[in-house]
Structure formats: C-alpha cells, structure tokens
Amino acid sequence: MKALNLKNISWSLIISAMMCMVAFASCSDDEKEGVNITFPELKEETHAVGDEIEISFNAPVDWQLTSKAAWCKFVNGDFEDATTSGKAGNQTVTAKILGDGQDYINDNTTEITLKMGDKEQVIYKITRSKKAFSGLTIKSVPEAEGEEAVEYSAENPIVVKGCDIDTNRDEYLVIETNIEDANLTVGIKEGDNPDWIKIEKDNNKYKLAFNKDKKDLDPKYSFGTDKGGKIIFSVMTSDNSIIGTAEIPVAYEGLKEGVLVSSPAYPNLRISQDGKKIISTDANNKSTVYQDKIETEIITRDDEFEIVTFEQVGSFMVFPGMEPVYQADGFIFGEDAVTDWVDVKTNGTKCTITFEPYVFSYNYDNRGVVVMAFPKKEYEKIKNDLEKNIIVDDYINPRYQSYVLGAPVQTEDVVMSFTTCIAMDGELFPIANMIGEDCTTKYDGEEIEGAGTDNIYTSNIFSMLFSTSEDGKVYYEIKNGEDGMILENDEFDGFSAGLTNKAGKDYIVLSTANAETLPLQQGKQIKVKSSNGEVLALLIINIGENPF
C-alpha cells in the first residue's frame, strides 16, 4: 500500500473542490428558503356532534395537522386521531366532531393547527354547540279505554277542559311530559303559566283546570290561544339549570260540555185559565205565585242553547195535604203537538215564558207542555229525532232532566183553597171529619151578600180540636196563596184569626184563650184578600158541640 503523496497534489485543485462543496450547500439552503408556503385562510365555524369538516390545502413540503381538543379528531380510515401528517401536495383531510365531554350548559371551542416545514399556523377555530335535549314529548293522558293520547306542540295547542257549575265537579285535563335523557327533568317555573289555569303536579303528570279564582274571566265562555297565552315547560339538569324550554299555547273550551242550568227552574207549573196567574210548586210542596210571566236565566257554554217544546198529556193526582200533582201519560212531538199557547222568548241568556188563555176548545180539561233548553252541541246531536232521544220508557230521559225549564199545565182557574190542620209532634197534620173528609169543604149554599167572591169554603169543627192540638191552635193551610195576603174579620167571640208561615207554607191560625169555654159559633166569616184588596177567598167557620 502506497502512502498518499500530498506533494504531488495540486493545492489549487483541493481549494477549488472545497469551494464547490460550499457552493452546493449554499444552493440547497437557498432552495428551501425559496419555497412559497401559503397557509389557508383562517375559518371560524360552529358544528354539532357528528358533523364532519373537510380541510383542504396545498402543502409544498411535508405537513402536519393537530387538533387541540379530544372531541375533534381526524379521520384516518377506521381510526380517529388528534394529529395527522403527510407529504407535499394538494391535501383534503376530514375532521369529525365527537361527543366526548359535551354538556348541556356550555359550548366548547378548539383550534386546528397546520405545520408545514418549520412554520405553523392556526387554520380553524371550531365551536362545538352545547348538548341539545331531544325526545321531549307533551301528551294528554287518555281517560277511557280506546282513547288516543294527543301530542301538543306550538302548532297543536293544549285545550283546557271546561269547569262545572258545581265547584266540586270540576273537570281536569291530565297531561304528561317525557324526555329521552333520564338525567333531565321537566317542570313549569312559577309564572310560566297563565294565571287562569290551575295546575297540580304529580311526578311527570300535570292536572290542568280552569281557575275559578280568576274573577275577570267567566268560566262559561270559551277562548282561544290569543287570549289563553302559553305554558312554558323548562328542561333542567340535576342542579336545576335550565337548558331549554318548550312553549305550548293554551285555549279554554268553555263551560263543561252538556252542562245547562236554568235559574230559577219551575218544576211544576199550574196556569190559570186566563194565562195570567202562574203557580209554581217545588219538591217541598211550597207554592209561589207569579203574575203574567215567568223568567229564567240560562247558564251554558258560550250562551248557546236551543229551546225545545212538546206536548204532554195527562191528569192531576190529588193527595191529602198536598197540591195536585200532574201525572203525564204521554208526549206528542212535531206538527201534532199543541204547544202554541206557550210563548217562549229569549234575549241573550234570559228566557221569558207567557201563556195564552184557555178557550176550552179541546176534548180534555187540561193541556200541558214541556219547555226545555238544550246546550247547542247537545241539541245538534239529537235534533234529527228529538222524541226518540228525549223520551225513554215513557219518561223524559234522566240525562236531560236538568234541561227542563218548566212543565206548565193549564186548567180551569186555579183558586185558593184550605186544608184543616192541627199541631202534633212539632208538625202540622191535616185532619178529617167523622166520615173521613176534610173538615173544610167548598160552600154550595145560597149566594152570600157582600162575599166579594164565589170562592167560598165552609169549615165545620169542634171546640175539642183546640185542646187536641198540642199548641192549642187550629190551622188552615192556604193552597194557592200569594205574597202580601191580609185577613179581614179576624176577631170573634172567644177566638181570633191570624196569618202565619210554617215550613214554607201559609196558614190561617185560630187561637183561643180557653177551648173548654169556647162558645159555639156559626157562620163566622174570614176574608182572605190580596195586597191590592181583591178578595181571594171567604172562609166560613162553624164551631159545633163536641160529639163526646
């Protein structure tokens, strides 16, 4: 092996070679510095979980993308990575927004950085929207089998059920709320419902009813969402932070469907022959007299009702100590019904009923009509066959009994009459004479001068009745009386007469200081007059000798 002989090498050659190497190295650095690295323009975007973002750029050199958040990663085949890299060239990279760490309260932000060569720049600022609740449903709870639930929304309002006249029978609409995320709850904040709605909550169910304490709204009138307002349902996290709301408009259907009340009602009506005197008898056998007309106020939903009249055919049944009771044997509807003698006029909610004179042009001694008022919707259901729907088993359908305004029956003149009574066990009881008849009967004798009426009764009693009666008095129940009555001729030898009212009934009461010394009396006249002086009846009292 020969040693390198530096003496034979030209130093000028060596120096030239070294200069070439320096020049080459300088050229390489110049090439890198001369590359034009341009970063994409910064983008700021908001995305939801599941969104994908396509990032496109041109890299003249090797590059690397980096996400600063675990919830934003780059798709690499079947994998998702926080960084990705590649060689120079045109690039399109997909980034995906994930749900890691997302909550209902805050939006999240992150940045994507692009590095090319030794340069680095943020090219994306991404906001991930906070978690949105889903699956909230607000539905009615079916009341009956087969009934379908109604789902409510901004387009399908809640309609609160109508209340009843009776405060103990108010109707509720029950609704329930459900949401997919079991960690969330749904509620109604105070003040987030209209004050005309009464709300009771039971877990996720709500009972909605009309609030009768809301005095500026009449519960019988319906109204829509323009007046009803909205209920705001709030969706809350476990710490009661509200993360969203659902606003559902509400309306009111008006008074409970089918409810109709007339005030007052006239269950039993007897009409005088001239149609002017009207006697109404209630369930307690108390009579009230009206002149010329009767009036009632109709209470029903939206003041919408229909009047229905039909003929009733029957006769009076008489029981001791009671007003005659009309027993209907049948009903006639349509063109064959005789109802034109009853005139029913309505003005808003007010109903006025008047009666024509009885001309006795029929083959029976009385005529009757039933006057009913039906809520509009109820009437529409039955109008095509009124008789079939109203009459069931020869009686008025119990479902419609409350719709009867009155059942007037017109007969010969209704006049005052009397029934003799005495006091026993704190009550007044009718008494009979020796043959079982009332001690007071219709007078059938000669004309009495100055009587002022042909409505005359005779009462034949014994003095012992005073001592038999526990309070020492004899009473005459006044049938078909009227307010403001007065007596004429009320002082006699040994006894006096006066007017009293017991248990809602009017009586003439005879009093004596001593029944044992009471002298016999014959033909003692007591006139019963109206407040305007008209003689309504003459009662002739005969006190006879005791039979034993």
Whose CA is closest to 105, among 240, 249, 282? 240
Q: Considering only 19-23, 39-43, 208-212, 494-498, which range has the smallest mean pLDDT?
A: 19-23
260-411: what CATH class? Answer: mainly beta
Looking at every residue in the chain, the average pLDDT score rounds to: 87
- Tokens 């042009």 correspond to what residue? 361
- pLDDT at residue 13, rounded to an integer: 53
* pTM of the full structure: 0.59
Convert 17-49 into a string of H (helix), E (strand) and C (coil).
HHHHHHHHHHHHHHHHHCCCCCCCCCEEEEECC
11, pLDDT greater than 70: no
DSSP secondary structure of 264-276: S-EEEEEE-TTS-
- pLDDT at residue 319, rounded to an integer: 64
pLDDT band, residue 23 (cuts 50/70/90): very low
- The residue-averaged pLDDT of 330-335 equals 93
Q: 3-class SS at 171?
A: coil
Reported as a single tens digit per residue, the pLDDT across 130-146 is 888 888 999 999 888 88
Reported as a single tens digit per residue, the pLDDT across 107-137 is 999 999 999 998 999 999 999 998 888 889 9
269, pLDDT greater than 50: yes
Four-CA torsion 102, 103, 105, 109, nearest 10 degrees: -10
Which segments of 117-241 are extended strands (E)? 119-128, 137-140, 158-160, 173-178, 185-187, 197-202, 205-210, 230-236
- Tokens 């070294």 correspond to what residue? 18
12, pLDDT greater than 60: no
Cβ-Cβ contacts under 8 Å for 538 (sequence gap 6 or more):
443, 448, 451, 452, 453, 455, 456, 457, 525, 526, 527, 528
Instruction: Return d(Cα 508, Cα 75) in angstroms, integer.
Output: 108
Q: Considering only 7-11, 54-58, 187-191, 461-465, which range has the smallest mean pLDDT?
A: 7-11
Element (H or E) spanning 196, and its range? none
CB 370, CB 233: distance < 8 Å? no
pLDDT band, residue 2 (cuts 50/70/90): very low
Reported as a single tens digit per residue, the pLDDT across 375-402 is 999 999 999 999 999 999 989 999 999 9
Instruction: Return d(Cα 273, Cα 262) in angstroms, integer.
Output: 26
- pLDDT at residue 17, rounded to an integer: 54
Please give the backbone phi and psi of residue 91, each rounded to the nearest 5 degrees, phi first.
-125, 145
Q: Please name the CATH architecture into which domain 43-128 falls.
A: Sandwich (2.60)
Reported as a single tens digit per residue, the pLDDT across 161-178 is 988 876 555 678 899 999
CA 263 to chain centre: 20
Neighbours of 150 (CB within 10 A): 15
Reported as a single tens digit per residue, the pLDDT across 209-223 is 998 888 888 888 999
Reported as a single tens digit per residue, the pLDDT across 431-475 is 876 556 778 889 988 999 989 998 999 999 888 889 899 999 999
259, pLDDT greater than 70: yes
- pLDDT at residue 435, rounded to an integer: 58
At the topology level of CATH, where does 417-544 sit? Immunoglobulin-like (2.60.40)
Asked if the domains 43-128 and 136-252 are classified in one and the same CATH topology, the answer is yes
- pLDDT at residue 314, rounded to an integer: 86
Token pair of 452 as six digits: 């002022």
Domain at 136-252, CATH from 1.10.40, 1.20.5, 2.60.40, 1.10.10? 2.60.40
CB 270, CB 414: distance < 8 Å? yes
CB 252, CB 162: distance < 8 Å? yes
What are the residue boundaries of the structural domains of the chain, listed by start?
Answer: 43-128, 136-252, 260-411, 417-544
Q: 3-class SS at 68?
A: coil
Token pair of 411 as six digits: 């007969």
